[in-house]
């Protein structure tokens, strides 16, 4: 059932933290040539590695269109339930439903999806299937849906502690291609209605050159109530330094919804910028109206784009000259997440597609 006459907060629902217990995780089988290449095997290998790590602890769902249903089912086997729902790309975090809970049941939220900016700066022209996927999945799992379909939002642009506090970035939520007709205060009110939160923390920036207008899930994440990790670099010549410094200064100046000062842990970005290579471009096939890649383009690589599963933390790994950076990120997160196994996932193919592990996963919480 689609609910239009009420809001989650009015009905006693709220968005749980990602590190709360999950019923499962939603992903989408990657096939879009402009994101994953005309030969998407490397990306599919990464998605399968994520499914394998998660399926030991929780249920995993994958969406796939009819043309790729058999392929996905064969590759994933018993690791996942594959559901025939077509999409335009594979960013489950942004096109899937955001789930809210009330202690007894969960319900989905359907946001409006416009490919990260619509006619202003959207990344591809046709996104109707993506926009319809949230409701279709909720119908498949028999969950009611709150319809916020006039409000443009992606799951990667919000991050909650499950105790009333929400992290967002100004660059994303105030971007011209989303809800330009709404004031900052009106946007905040919509978020409170939808997610049952009490306080929105507006970070100034995300990750440098992040084509989502700097989603918060690439720069800062709660790892516990009152505690966040922040993407960081000590290199003052790196354009990320000033952005992360502004975020740090903001985070140290605010309190969360419970009145707590935040504990902030720095999680350094890769020591060496991750750039698009000529050979990467040979595999990519862009359609008309789709944002292209260029050789030498800096990708928005960040270890903050990790994902909490039941009992695990899945962490991006970039390899090559960033092997030491990869190991450092694993070490830091092991020190912070004592109750979970910290697992590195080779995610270069996901990064080349435009995001990382958090961007392609969407948690389905327990009630």
Give the span between the Cα atoms of 342 and 90, in whole angstroms: 24
Helix (H) or strand (E) holding 362: strand 362-365
Query: Nearest-CA neighbor of 330 among 340, 298, 321?
Result: 340
Q: Dmax over Cα atoms in the chain, in whole Å?
A: 54
CA dihedral 83, 85, 87, 90 (to 10 degrees): -10
| Catalytic annotation, pick one of 48, 138, 172, 359 | 359
Annotated active-site residue 220? The verdict is no
Query: Nearest-CA neighbor of 298 among 269, 330, 265?
Result: 269
- Say if residues 4 and 38 touch (Cβ distance below 8 Å): no
How many H helices and E strands in the chain? 12, 17
Query: Nearest-CA neighbor of 221 among 303, 276, 139, 287?
Result: 303
Catalytic residues: 359
């Amino acid at each position: 059932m689609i609910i239009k006459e009420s809001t989650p907060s009015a009905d006693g629902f709220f968005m749980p933290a990602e590190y709360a217990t999950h019923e499962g995780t939603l992903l989408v089988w990657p096939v879009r040539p402009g994101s994953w290449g005309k030969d998407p095997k490397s990306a599919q290998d990464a998605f399968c590695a994520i499914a394998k790590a998660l399926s030991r602890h929780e249920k995993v769902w994958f969406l796939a269109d009819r043309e790729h249903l058999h392929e996905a089912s064969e590759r994933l086997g018993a690791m996942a339930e594959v559901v025939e729902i077509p999409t335009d790309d594979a960013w489950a975090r942004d096109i899937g439903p955001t789930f809210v809970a009330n202690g007894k049941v969960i319900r989905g939220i359907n946001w409006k999806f416009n490919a990260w900016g619509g006619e202003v700066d959207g990344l591809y022209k046709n996104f109707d299937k993506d926009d319809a996927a949230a409701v279709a999945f909720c119908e498949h799992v028999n969950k009611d849906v709150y319809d916020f379909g006039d409000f443009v939002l992606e799951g990667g642009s919000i991050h909650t502690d499950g105790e009333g506090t929400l992290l967002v970035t100004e660059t994303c939520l105030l971007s011209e291609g989303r809800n330009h007709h709404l004031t900052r205060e009106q946007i905040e009110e919509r978020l409170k209605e939808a997610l049952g939160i009490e306080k929105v923390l507006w970070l100034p920036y995300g990750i440098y050159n992040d084509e989502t207008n700097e989603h918060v899930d690439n720069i800062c994440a709660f790892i516990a109530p009152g505690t966040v990790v922040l993407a960081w670099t000590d290199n003052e010549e790196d354009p990320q330094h000033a952005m992360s410094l502004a975020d740090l200064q903001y985070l140290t100046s605010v309190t969360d919804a419970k009145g707590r000062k935040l504990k902030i842990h720095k999680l350094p970005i890769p020591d060496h910028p991750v750039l698009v290579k000529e050979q990467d471009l040979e595999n990519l096939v862009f359609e008309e109206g789709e944002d292209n890649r260029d050789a030498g383009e800096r990708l928005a690589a960040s270890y903050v784009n990790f994902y909490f599963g039941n009992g695990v933390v899945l962490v991006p790994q970039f390899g090559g000259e960033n092997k030491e950076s990869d190991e450092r990120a694993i070490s830091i997160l092991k020190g912070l997440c004592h109750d979970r196994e910290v697992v590195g996932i080779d995610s270069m193919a996901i990064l080349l597609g435009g995001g990382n592990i958090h961007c392609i996963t969407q948690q389905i919480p327990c009630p």
